[in-house]
Every structure is written in C-alpha cells, then in structure tokens.
Structure 1
Amino acid sequence: MNPKVSYPNIGLPHKIERLVELAYNLWFSWNDDALELFASIDRQRWEQTLHNPVQLLLETDSAAWNPLSKDPVFMESYERVCSHWDTYLNETTWFQNTYPAHLQQSIAYFSAEFGFHESLQIYSGGLGILAGDHCKSASDLGIPLIGIGLLYKRGYFLQKINQDGQQQAEQIIYDFTKLPVLPVLNADGEELVIQASIADRPVQLKIWQARVGRMSVFLLDADVEGNSSWDREITAQLYGGNQDIRIAQEVLLGTGGVKALRALGLPTAVYHINEGHAAFQAFERINEQLSAGVPFHVALEMIRASSVFTTHTPVPAGHDAFTVGMIEYYCSSLFEKWNNHKQELLQLGQGHGNQLFNMTHLALNTAAMRNGVSKLHGEVSRDMFRSFHGNIHEQEVPINHITNGVHMPSWLAPELKELFSRFLPGHWLTDQTSGTTWKSLELIPPQSLWDVHTQLKEKMIQFARANLVEQYSRNGLPTAQIKEASGYLSAKALTIGFARRFATYKRANLIFNDLDRLDRLVNNPERPVQFLFAGKAHPADQPGQEMIREIHRISLIDRFRGKIVLLENYDMNMARHLVQGVDIWLNNPRRPYEASGTSGQKAAMNGAINFSILDGWWEEGYDGSNGWSIEGNNDADPHTQELENTESIYTTLEQKIVPLYYNQGPLSTDWIARMKRSIQTLAPVYNTDRMVMDYTNKAYVPSLKRTLLFVANQLDLVTKVADYKRFIISNWHHVHVLHVKDESSDNDASPVLATVPGSAGSVPEASSKPAQPLKGVTAQIAFGPIWYKDTVVEIVYYEQREQEWFPVVVMMEPVQELLDRVVQYHATLPAHLEHLAHYKIRIRPVSASFVSSFELPLFTMS
C-alpha cells in the first residue's frame, strides 16, 4: 500500500489552505521564508509553541484567518513560499541525474532518535540531530531514503537549573495531534496498526509519518489501546527507564521497523543501521527469509549484503550490551519459532570470550558495509574491533569512515545566506560541496561580513539574557540580580561558546583549572573575553551533572559574574543562536573519545572559528590557518594530558587568539580573513550534502547493486557465496604453510606463472626508497580441499614511517602445483628480511563477491 495521511480540518480559507500542507512537512524547518511566514501569523504564539506551525494553526483564533487571507503582504509571502515549495518538489535532483536506474529501490534508515527541529523533540543530542540532517540532505538530493524510528510520548527531557546549579529533568507529555506528524491510514481510512513481538506477547504499534521534504520518516508508537500498561510505556521516553525498557525499545525499533516497511508496501533494498540500537532489524529479516524457505546461512548472507552499519561510539562502554538471558526472553517468540537456529542467532551478538550480547557485534556480523564517522574514529573503531576480525593489523579491519557533516540550510544564519547570495555564484547553496563556489567569499567586503556577524552576536546575547532572566526569575532570585542578568555579556567582547552534552570525557570544566588566569582573561579592561556554556547531562549521569554545578558555581563568583554564563535547556533553537553568534567555538574532549562532533562544523559555516583538540572531525579539518588546535601529548596519562591541554588553551588564548581579535581597533581584518578561511575550507566539506553523497556512492548504491545481483535467478549468486563461505570456514583448518625458503640475493624478480584473482588489497604500499638488494622467497602451501585460486598468499612485514610501524604486503605468485594439493609460491622482498624474525607468510580466502579483503576473518600465518 502507499502510505496515506489525512490532514485535520483547521477551517482555513481556500486562499491559504496550503498552510496545513506546509505545516505538516518539516521542509519548513530549513526554509527561512516558510519560518517567517508562520511567525508572521502570531509572533508571540510562534515563540510560545517552540516554532511549531501545527500547534500555531490549531490554536490561532479562527477569526484571524480571513483578515490574513486579505492582507497583501501576508499573501505575497504565502504565494512565494508555496511557489518555492512546488519548485522544490518538481525539480530534478542529484540522485535522479546520477543514478536514474535506481529510483525505485529505497534505502531504509533506522535510528533511535531524529532531530529535525525544536518543534519535534525526539532527539537527545548529536546522534539524533545528525540523523535529522541526514534525512534533510537525502531529501534535497532526491535520495530514496525512508526513515524508521520511535515516537516518544515524553521526548527526552526539559532541563531546568535551580539556584544551586542542580539540573532538574522536567518531563512533559506531548500531544501528538499538535506535532508535525500524522498517523498513517490503511486502505479503509483507518489508522494503520501493526504488531511486533516482545517476549511471549504481541505489542500493537501505531505508525506516524513525519514528512521531511521529499522523503518520510515513519515513527512507531506503542501507546496503543489494547497493549498492557508496561508495553504502552516502551516508547514513552528516549533513553529512559532501565535495561528492560532499553532492550524492548530496540526490539521494537528493529523488528517493528521492518514490519512497518512491509505494512507500508515500501520496496526496500538497503538497510542503514545508524548505531547499534537498530541492529535487531537483522533478526526480523532473517525470520522473513527462513519463513520463505531460505537456508539460514544464505539468509544471513542476504542480510549482510543489503545492510550498512554506522558506529558512532569510540568508548567500549557506550555500545549497548545485554545478558543472553534478556535476549532469550525478549526474543523468545523468534527462538521458539526457529529453535534449531537459536545458537546461530545468539552467536551473531556475542564477541569472543564475552558472555554479553552486544548490539554492535550484531550489527558488525550482519552488515557488510561498516563505517565510523571521521577519519580518526575509523582508526579507533578498527582498533576497537580488531579482535573481532581475528587480530589482523588495524589498518586492514574492514571498517571505513565517512566523516559527518551538517545540513547547511538548517544551520546557516539567514543573514549570512542573504550576504552569501550577493557575492557567491547563483546556485551556491545547491552547489555547496564545490570548493570553487566558496572562492568568491573573498569578494565580500570585510566590513559587510563583520556587520552581519555583529548582528548575529547581538541576537545571541539577547537570547542568552532572556534565558538567564527566565532561569533567575523562576528560582526566586532578588529583583536586582535579575535586572543585572538582563545586562550580562557584551557584543564587543571576544565571545567563546561551549555547548554539548555534559559527559565527563568532553571536559566542560577544563578552562576552570586556573581561575586566576581565567580572571585575567575575562576582566582585561581593554581585551575582555566572555564564555557561554550550555548542555544537558543524562539524568543518570551524576559526574556530568556535577560539571553543571561547578560551572554554575563559578558563574556566580563576583569576578566572573556576567562574563561566564550557563544557559539552561540546550536544544536546537539555542544551538542555532550559539553557533551563529559566538566568535570562537571551544571543544576540548579527551582524545580520541569525540567520534566526530558536529557543533563545530555548524559554527564554522557561520564564521565562528574553531579552537579544539585535534579529535573527531577537527583532526582532519584543521589546516593550521582556519582555526586553532589545543595541543598536548596524546600518549601521556590522562592527568598529564589535562595539564598540557589546559596550558595550551590559556597560552593560545593569551598569545594568539585575543591579540588577533583585538588587533587594528574595531575592525580586525586579520580576524575576518581567518573567518573567511574557516568558511572556505570547512563549509564545502563538512556538510551533509557531501556526507550523504558519500554514503550513496560508497555504501548505498554498491550495497543495492550487490543485493540485486544476489536476489536474481532464484538467489543463485547469494547461495553460491553463502555455500562458498561455509565450505571455506569448514575446511580452512587444512590450509597451512609447509616450507619457506629464503633464496640468495637477486635484484631481478623471478617470473610468475599465474595471477591470483582478487588479490588486490587495501593496505598501504611500501614507501619509495633507494634501490636495495632483493632476494627471492619460495613457500610451499598445503590447501587440502580448498582450491588455491580461492586464496591469496602474501608476505607481511612492517616498515617504520614517522614513528609508526605500518604493514607492507607483498603478493606471492603461484609457480607450480605439486602433489597432494600443495602449491609453490614465489615473491621477492628486501634481502635483509628473514622469515619469522622479520616477515611471515599469510594466506587468506578471496572472492570476487567479497566487499572487503577480510570479509571472512580467516587467515593462516607461517
């Protein structure tokens, strides 16, 4: 079936009836003219509803509509927005032009949270906002993406900070009928409800649709009549409750999400697991294949081929894991149905020697395409999961990286969009990934850019003051103190922002390690510095909440009052104000625990300059001229790192950042030049258009093509691949090195008699050096029943480059077949290397149908 929705009857005049259509599509959230259109209806109510157009329309007095429909200014705005919307829907997209043959196959994107806009708060932080930005760019690019998530009745939580600096988590209950989502209807016009199994019972799930431009996200809701009270609470709150609620949410997201796709009749070829929360989708898809009579090993191969997994967590403790008993209980209906495959299913989530069922392991075992979210995070992930792949060198672990980005239309200030449109090429926003586009930034007069930045800074300060006044008033502070707060912060002072989740590794309190030095910075009469802090700590994270109390305490000390401020209830609306208004974006996590970090990318495109630890995205984005790095010995113990990082922060501020900002009086052209350099080098790279194109080119389309090949001809190819893997695994113990001989030095390579198929690897080549004596190496390999051409035989040794050791792989070529399935191989390598002491022989299986060199974590070493 095609998903059907029905708009509520709000009673709008015919002339403006499309306001309902606009309100129920989150396209409004990244289109400034649409946002202004809704705000102009009732600006006070617009603010009170957290910029929620659906609630605005529902609560506006019906008497207001006729005058608006006759207001020429409003109608001109309305018609312009409608025209813009229609053009957007009908224009040819990047995906249509690039992959016209794949328009009918969808990609399902599973995520536990989505952050589209403050009016739909089903996100907690970076993971959800990234998912929302991913969907928005997928819409802009025309990618046939379908989002799958959960609709939380109480969202995450609203943060209040009391007069003691204690975070208070305030729960609210959302009325879904006032959110920009609509229930999906079945063919009879009734609300579509599906059924998923939790433990020994069925759970009813209502499906809601959030429209995001050209694409849709379908959200599952367990608060359905007929479910038990406990089951109705499963989707009550994001990351709320205990382990039982957590696993139940993940079962519903994974298995319920697949069932929703089937009920909606959406043909899906690729499944993207955004973090391990959604990995249970593999269980449901294996169940489908088994029910169709497909053997287990073939079903697993089909699921692997069509799955993409993105890991976001560089901390082992951050990967969800449950006891096997919990898995057996919550997935009991599946295990009862396929009892003969129970152990195989359980093994998909169990690591070597680990008694827990790990959701990341389940995702790794059921997705052929895997990636981290920055270059450094890819390296960390390969090291973290090296043992999972047989302890090969970390560079060879089949986990790649696609660096995160942010959705430019959502995060770039309207004032800057207007300025850029005057000087950049006409289609700069749709051509944002081109570095050439941003060269024209040089044409913008420094004063023009500075004037816009100052305007945004003043807007941010007004927003911050209002937040503080509300906070102080609620906490019953004296009138004089509230009045004082309304004058905090100065648009003339160098302003540094720090806003993110308050987790201990992010070290929000690092700047407070030397309060006297901080005092000299913020109270310099000629060159003052001020700091804004914001962020939530998880209600169960006591150390994170202690950081909030510490910042609050310091902000009330006389010498810091009004110059260090702590804002409450960090959300997407506050984030926009901060990234668009600060001068410096500060980020000082303990390396390498920041997988990517996208707030600095949002700040960069708005002209704020990053000052950060070389971690996550900044490790690859920083070029020495587009911001500043916080230095320290990354190999030192945590205490030493903290001391060195603190010293680097203060020294860089005192000697580089503050002097540059205040140089040349009221207009520092050197500072503005660095602002431009930051935008030019970072904006075209760290955006979700580039990111989603990367996912499409590197993961989605290759997975889609492989899946289509696998399902053709009654699963002929996938069956062959699955049978091949099973045969190799069963017989690999026969493969071993019989004999290795180092020949005398010889500068001439020996002739080769054959070329091993599929031998191309992804390891680095040896660095270029002056010619050195070479020698031949001969090895005799026994293969047993395995055909030697289904393997690669290679020599592995290590070479030091810039204080690190890298593997060098030399392919050995088959020279002749001997008796009893023994094959002789030959290669040349530097004469000084000796077998075992310096190099080893490695044999691994290969196949033209493998995605990576180590798709099967099997190898034999001499």
Structure 2
Amino acid sequence: TTEFDQLPLTPACNESGEELHVVVDFPGRPVQLKLWQARVGHIKLYLLDSDLPANSDADRAITYQLYGGDINTRIQQEIVLGIGGVRALRALGLEPTAWHINEGHAAFQILERCRELVGAGLDFASAIEQVAAGTVFTTHTPVPAGHDIFDHSLISSYFGDYVEQLGLSMEAFLNLGTSPSNQGGFNQTVLALHGSRFHNGVSKIHGEVASQMEGYVWPQIPYRENPMRHVTNGVHVQTFLAYEWSNLYDMRFGMEWRNELLNEDYWERIEEIPDHSFWSLRQSLKSELLNQVRRRVVLQCRRNRCGEAHIDRATRLLSPHESDILTIGFARRFATYKRATLLFSDPERLARLLNDPKRPMLLIFAGKAHPSDLPGQQLIQVIHEFSRRPEFIGKILLLEGYDLSLARRLVSGVDVWLNTPEYPMEASGTSGQKAGLNGVINLSVLDGWWGEGYNGENGWAITSHDKHYDAAFRNQEEANELLDILEHQVIPLYYDRNGHGFSEGWVRMSKHSMKSALPQFNSQRMVMDYIKGFYGPAAEQGRKLAKNRSRGAKELASWKNRIYQLWSSVSLRRIDHSPQAVKAGEHFLIEVAAQLGELTPDDVRLECLIGKEDEHQEFIATEYFGFTADGQLDTGETRFVLDLDPPLPGLQHFQIRIYPCHPLLSHRFETGCMIWV
C-alpha cells in the first residue's frame, strides 16, 4: 500500500470538499479510481489510484507498478489512463482546449471523448473529426517495443459493450487500430494517429523516421510531406543545471539569465567567464561525483563480499582530492539499440588507452534494463564482466542503483558524455542535453538531438551508418571511429595543459557545449514550439469544428466520406505540347485533363511542382504553382491550365499532382490521397 501521508499529495476534491472518484468498466466489473493532486510550483498534477477497498486485490494493483504484470495489466493501465483520465478531468470541471497524447499509452482517451459526443447525438465519423482536430500526438521512439499492440480478442473482451456506445461494429472499431504490418492486432499508435490531426516526433531525424514508419496512414503522400512533423525535446534548465553553475551565473550575470533561455546571443557571455575559473568549477563538480561514486563502489563491493584489496583496486582512481583524470560517462536505459558495449569491440586497444600512466582515463557506466528486456540485461552483465577483468578493474566502473540523484551527478560531473545508439533508433536522447548545459562535452553518434546540436566546435561526432549496411560492419566501423576519436582527439585535448595546469582547448570546447545547449535544448523552447505549432492550432481547429453544434465536424466528415468513395475514379493526363526549351522571360501553358467523376473542381487542388533532382536522383521541389479550372472537355474531363513563368534559369524538373482540398482540413494532406501525372 502506498503511504500517501509520506508524499506531497492531497486528495482531489469537488467544490463541496468531497473526495473525487471516477469509475471505468472492465469485463464483468467496475473499477473505482481515486484522484490525487500534487502541486509542482504553480502547476497541478493529477494522479489516478486504483488501490481502494472497493476494488479486488488484482485491481488495486493496477496503478501500483508501471512495468509490472502482463499484457492484461497493460491494457488495464491504458484504460485507466485514457478513459479514466478523461473522466477525471470532467469530474474536476476541467475542459482542455487542446489534448496532447504522448505515445499511444493514453490513446483510449480519443474513444472516450468520441463516446461523449456520440452520446450527445453526433455520429461517430463526425465525432472523431471533432476530437482529432483538437488533439496532438507525439511518438517518442522508433523501437517496436514502444508501440503497444493488443490482440483483437483482448480488445473485444474489454470493449464489447463500449463499442455499442460508439455506434460502431466491432470490425469498424478494430480498424481504428489496424496497420498493414499488424492485421491481427490493435495498435495504439495507429489509434492515436487516426484520432489526432497534429503529429510529431521528438527530433528532426526522428520526425523523418516517424514520417516513414507511419506513412501507411497517408498512403499516397510522399513521406517528406505527410502530416508528421517534429519538435525536438528539451530539458528543464533549473532542474538539471548544477547549482554551482546557477550560483556563478547569478554572480556574473545577475538573476536575469533565467529569462534569457531563448536568446542565443545572450549566452555568448559564457566566454566572459575566465578559463581558469571555468576549469576549476568543472573539476569541482567532478570531484563531488567521484566522491559519490567511491561511496557507491565501496558499498557494492562489500555487499558482494569483496576483500579490501579488491576494493582498493576498484577505487584507486576515485580520490576526491585527485580529480584531474579524464572521466567518461555512459548512463541510460540499457536497450540493445543503444549499444552500451560498442566501446569493448577492441578490448586490447581500450585497455591500452585506459592504462596509460601519463594520461589516465575512467569509464563510468550506470543504468537499468526493462524487466522484460533480457538482451538489455545481458548488456549489463557483459559490462560487469569487463569491469572485473584485471586490466579494467578500477578503470571501468558499473554503478548499481541508478536513480535521479546519481543521474544529475553524472551529467554535471563527467568530462565526456558518451552515446552510441544504432542510427536512426535514437529518437532524441535528452541525457546529452543535460550534460551539454553543464559544460560536459558530448561524444555521440549523429542521431537524435545531436544531429541538430553538433556544430563542429561543441563536441565530437561518430559518423552514422544507416540500415543499408551490414550490422556487423556498421558496428565495427563505428567502434573503430569511436576509439580513434578517443585516442587522437579526446585524450590529447584533455591533457594538453598550459602553464596554469589546464587545457585551454578543452575549456573552449566545453564553453561551446554549454552555450549551444542552453538556448537550443531547454524545455522552455520546446514548450513554445508546441504552443505555436501544435497547441494553438489544435485549439483553434477544435473550436472551428465544434461551433454551431459541430457543424464543421459534420461537414468535414461527410466530405471525406465522399472523397474516399470517389477517389479511385480520379485520373490525370497532359493534353498540351510542352516546348523543348523556354527562353528567360517566356511563358508556356501547361494543360491537364482531370477525370473527376462526381467530384467538383472545388474538391481538389491541381498543382505543379518545380525543382531539381539531388545526388540520389530524388526530386526536390522548390516552387509550387496552382492550376485553374477552365471548363469541361467533350470527354467529360475538367480542363485545368497553368500559365507558367519558370522561376529559375537552367534545367528544371517539374511534376504535376492532384489531391483533395477543403478549407476545414487541419493539414492539406490529411486525407492521404494524391495522384501524379
């Protein structure tokens, strides 16, 4: 049982002071949920709790452990979060204008909001248009394990009665979560995509990856143009910036620096900090880290019945009074794609680097694996075994009990933050951002946030190889480059000391790391990106479709239904004779005949794209021009014309396409329909 009197929580109550409860329905029984409230500054955080006497012992445990139980527990948790979450907000009297789903775990909230509208008299097609217009969905990982898929039989058992309240058949309901690769499963990511109109990944690279992964939702749209966009993650500076840096900024810059987190020019003043002071503070943070690491290592060794001689060897580099040792940190969830053991591909070379008496180096590993991720747990075992080898004892440390306290010490105290994901599987990777704003230098594969953050002066980049390469070849190439960077760049730069005992080049790179990370990768910038590009437009679109008793939602749903029924009969053909060459300043007329069937010219947009081919022979559009409808031909086709004045000299490529168009669409390509000449 959770001891709530030991936590900063209070029961959420209504205006009469009564504690709030909501109910969700499971097969054959209701489940009671209590609402708790926590205050985080000025923000209220609400929590759902099933540990109530009215529930069975099994149901009381639903909200106890996030990664506990089986797939049955998982669907129960997601029903509690999605459906119970909506009911909780209603009980609190809160009416969000924009809803944000992070991963598919809360996607059932789409169904609950649709159920409310259907109960008020709206048909399901109109209801989901209205719900989706005000919903943002963020996908956080390309890893399949991060996308929940439930068997149809499981969905049927939990949603049999619920489907009737939506006015759907079970087949239509299951189609909401069906993807081409999982015909027999209900995919929460697919449901979230169908029930939202604003979608994003969490870095520029991940946005492109997600556009390709989820492109089946918009099958005829080129992946670069489909509705999937990106907002790069950021971290909360006041939480993850070491207080020693905060104190220094207060003294040198005044309190105003906290209001300048979006101003890149402002952070040039980091250069004003004297190099020796900067180096000294970095060494002080490392000393505190090594002191904590020493305590942890000693406790680990004694718990494992190690002798004092072994403890002495394991802690020989951890003197808080001798912190001037190059320290590299790797701490995160141990998943196979993060390749925690990439550094060990050449143990002899690594041992030579670690055991150089003139230029010592320390590797610190920490992290946990998902309870059901056996390969991830095996990575931890491999690192543990390496750390016990004679040539690596005391040089490679694997810390147990990874928690937030240790994480904050590591991202502020090490010299180098190592990240070796398998490209392009790293969606973002915020630990490197936390390290960067503390002046720690990143050494990472160019994936996730580092694909945007790396500028050549603020760290080191390992060349990424995509999946077209053999996995063994890719791992070996990137491991060799990693060791090359360590041997020929990182170690020499750190130990290149001036007459005052510090490395000017290292301080220069560390300052670049800090002043590039602070204004670019903070959570304030991230939230502003969401407000401007997602929450604001979603709120406006939701209002537009909901006003006048959902008139817009009904109109859009009816129009889309007509488009999907008639689109297969649409076709295009060129009917002009284009010239071989056009002189500068000359116009030429492009004519296209479009067979629209029962659609009208107002239902579509015909477009000419002008551009060039890149080195991969892929067409890249630079200009877009719309055609005008110009009557009907004897064949029944609609004639479209464009009087084109080529915008640039030289060889130009152009392509012509048609797609559905309606003023109430949230994204011009959300129908997924497009035909090219």
Alignment correspondent of 1:856: 671
CA displacement, residues 254-301 of structure 1 (integer Å, 9 cap, x when unaligned): 000000000111121111001111100001001000011112111111
Contact 1:405–1:686, Cα closer than 8 Å, also in 2: yes
Which amino acid is the alignment partner of residue 279 of structure 1? A
CA displacement, residues 769-815 of structure 1 (integer Å, 9 cap, x when unaligned): xx699864321112222220221113468742244613437535125
Residue 252 (str. 1) matches residue 80 (str. 2): yes
Residue 421 (str. 1) matches residue 250 (str. 2): yes
1:737 to 1:600, Cα distance in 2 relative to 1, 3 A: same
> Structure 2 residue aligned with 1:527, among 359, 363, 366?
359
1:188 to 1:426, Cα distance in 2 relative to 1, 3 A: closer
Q: Which runs of 5+ in 2 are unaligned?
A: none
Alignment correspondent of 2:470: 637
**What are the residue-to-residue correspondences of 1:39-50 with 2, within 5 Å?**
none
CA displacement, residues 273-332 of structure 1 (integer Å, 9 cap, x when unaligned): 011111000010010000111121111111111100000111234311111111111122
| C-alpha deviation, 1:637, in angstroms | 1.6
Identity among equivalent positions (%) equals 41
SS in 2 for 1:461: helix
Residue 209 (str. 1) matches residue 37 (str. 2): yes
> Structure 2 residue aligned with 1:568, among 386, 392, 400?
400
Alignment correspondent of 1:499: 331
**What are the residue-to-residue correspondences of 1:218-297 with 2, within 5 Å?**
218-297=46-125
Within 2, Cα distance between the matches of 1:806 and 1:682?
34
> Structure 2 residue aligned with 1:743, among 578, 582, 587?
578
Residue 621 (str. 1) matches residue 436 (str. 2): no
Which amino acid is the alignment partner of residue 854 of structure 1? F
Contact 1:746–1:775, Cα closer than 8 Å, also in 2: no
> Structure 2 residue aligned with 1:371, among 194, 200, 225?
200
Which amino acid is the alignment partner of residue 516 of structure 1? E
1:733 to 1:831, Cα distance in 2 relative to 1, 3 A: farther
Residue 816 (str. 1) matches residue 649 (str. 2): no
Within 1, Cα distance between the matches of 2:72 and 2:651?
56
Residue 550 (str. 1) matches residue 378 (str. 2): no
Contact 2:237–2:522, Cα closer than 8 Å, also in 1: yes
Residue 178 (str. 1) matches residue 6 (str. 2): yes
| C-alpha deviation, 1:575, in angstroms | 0.6
Contact 1:425–1:437, Cα closer than 8 Å, also in 2: no
| C-alpha deviation, 1:479, in angstroms | 3.6
Which amino acid is the alignment partner of residue 579 of structure 2? S
Contact 1:423–1:441, Cα closer than 8 Å, also in 2: no
| C-alpha deviation, 1:437, in angstroms | 1.8
> Structure 1 residue aligned with 2:614, among 772, 792, 801?
801
Alignment correspondent of 2:491: 658
Alignment correspondent of 1:540: 372
Within 1, Cα distance between the matches of 2:162 and 2:81?
16
| C-alpha deviation, 1:821, in angstroms | 5.8
RMSD over equivalenced CA pairs, Å: 2.3
Contact 2:627–2:640, Cα closer than 8 Å, also in 1: yes
SS in 1 for 2:8: coil
1:221 to 1:581, Cα distance in 2 relative to 1, 3 A: same
SS in 2 for 1:429: helix
Within 2, Cα distance between the matches of 1:343 and 1:561?
60
| C-alpha deviation, 1:187, in angstroms | 4.3
Within 2, Cα distance between the matches of 1:557 and 1:582?
23
Which amino acid is the alignment partner of residue 811 of structure 1? F
SS in 2 for 1:428: helix
Alignment correspondent of 2:552: 717
Contact 2:220–2:673, Cα closer than 8 Å, also in 1: no
1:691 to 1:338, Cα distance in 2 relative to 1, 3 A: closer
1:655 to 1:336, Cα distance in 2 relative to 1, 3 A: same
Instruction: Work out the number of aligned pairs and report it.
Output: 665
Give TM-score scaled by structure 2 length: 0.94
CA displacement, residues 349-374 of structure 1 (integer Å, 9 cap, x when unaligned): 11236221110000000110000000
> Structure 1 residue aligned with 2:429, among 569, 574, 597?
597
Within 1, Cα distance between the matches of 2:585 and 2:473?
43
Alignment correspondent of 1:705: 540
Which amino acid is the alignment partner of residue 399 of structure 1? M
Within 2, Cα distance between the matches of 1:174 and 1:667?
50
SS in 1 for 2:126: helix
SS in 2 for 1:405: coil
1:338 to 1:692, Cα distance in 2 relative to 1, 3 A: closer
1:746 to 1:479, Cα distance in 2 relative to 1, 3 A: closer
SS in 1 for 2:296: helix
Alignment correspondent of 1:481: 310
Residue 788 (str. 1) matches residue 601 (str. 2): yes
**What are the residue-to-residue correspondences of 1:512-523 with 2, within 5 Å?**
512-523=344-355
**What are the residue-to-residue correspondences of 1:321-336 with 2, within 5 Å?**
321-336=149-164
| C-alpha deviation, 1:186, in angstroms | 3.6
1:453 to 1:783, Cα distance in 2 relative to 1, 3 A: same
Within 1, Cα distance between the matches of 2:130 and 2:58?
35
CA displacement, residues 72-104 of structure 1 (integer Å, 9 cap, x when unaligned): xxxxxxxxxxxxxxxxxxxxxxxxxxxxxxxxx
Which amino acid is the alignment partner of residue 293 of structure 1? G
Within 2, Cα distance between the matches of 1:849 and 1:314?
31
Contact 1:631–1:645, Cα closer than 8 Å, also in 2: yes
Contact 2:572–2:592, Cα closer than 8 Å, also in 1: yes
CA displacement, residues 213-257 of structure 1 (integer Å, 9 cap, x when unaligned): 111111111111111222222212112211111111111110000
Which amino acid is the alignment partner of residue 600 of structure 1? G
Contact 1:423–1:440, Cα closer than 8 Å, also in 2: no
Alignment correspondent of 1:144: none
Alignment correspondent of 1:358: 187
Which amino acid is the alignment partner of residue 801 of structure 1? D
1:187 to 1:632, Cα distance in 2 relative to 1, 3 A: closer
CA displacement, residues 405-444 of structure 1 (integer Å, 9 cap, x when unaligned): 1000000000011112222354111221111220111110
Contact 2:419–2:444, Cα closer than 8 Å, also in 1: yes
Alignment correspondent of 1:647: 480
- Higher mean C-alpha deviation, range 303-312 or range 720-729: 720-729
Q: Which has the higher contact order (CA 8 A, sep 6+)?
A: 2
Residue 455 (str. 1) matches residue 284 (str. 2): yes
Within 2, Cα distance between the matches of 1:335 and 1:780?
44
> Structure 2 residue aligned with 1:679, among 495, 505, 514?
514
Alignment correspondent of 2:271: 442
Contact 2:114–2:166, Cα closer than 8 Å, also in 1: no
Which amino acid is the alignment partner of residue 687 of structure 1? N
Contact 1:352–1:388, Cα closer than 8 Å, also in 2: no
Contact 1:774–1:831, Cα closer than 8 Å, also in 2: no
Give TM-score scaled by structure 1 length: 0.74
Within 1, Cα distance between the matches of 2:13 and 2:666?
40
Which amino acid is the alignment partner of residue 449 of structure 1? F
Which amino acid is the alignment partner of residue 658 of structure 2? I
Which amino acid is the alignment partner of residue 261 of structure 1? L
Which amino acid is the alignment partner of residue 842 of structure 1? R
- Higher mean C-alpha deviation, range 515-524 or range 788-797: 788-797
Contact 1:369–1:399, Cα closer than 8 Å, also in 2: yes
Within 2, Cα distance between the matches of 1:443 and 1:518?
37
Within 2, Cα distance between the matches of 1:744 and 1:183?
75
Within 2, Cα distance between the matches of 1:426 and 1:233?
46
Within 1, Cα distance between the matches of 2:486 and 2:403?
28
**What are the residue-to-residue correspondences of 1:373-392 with 2, within 5 Å?**
373-392=202-221
CA displacement, residues 130-157 of structure 1 (integer Å, 9 cap, x when unaligned): xxxxxxxxxxxxxxxxxxxxxxxxxxxx
1:241 to 1:736, Cα distance in 2 relative to 1, 3 A: same
Within 2, Cα distance between the matches of 1:410 and 1:850?
39
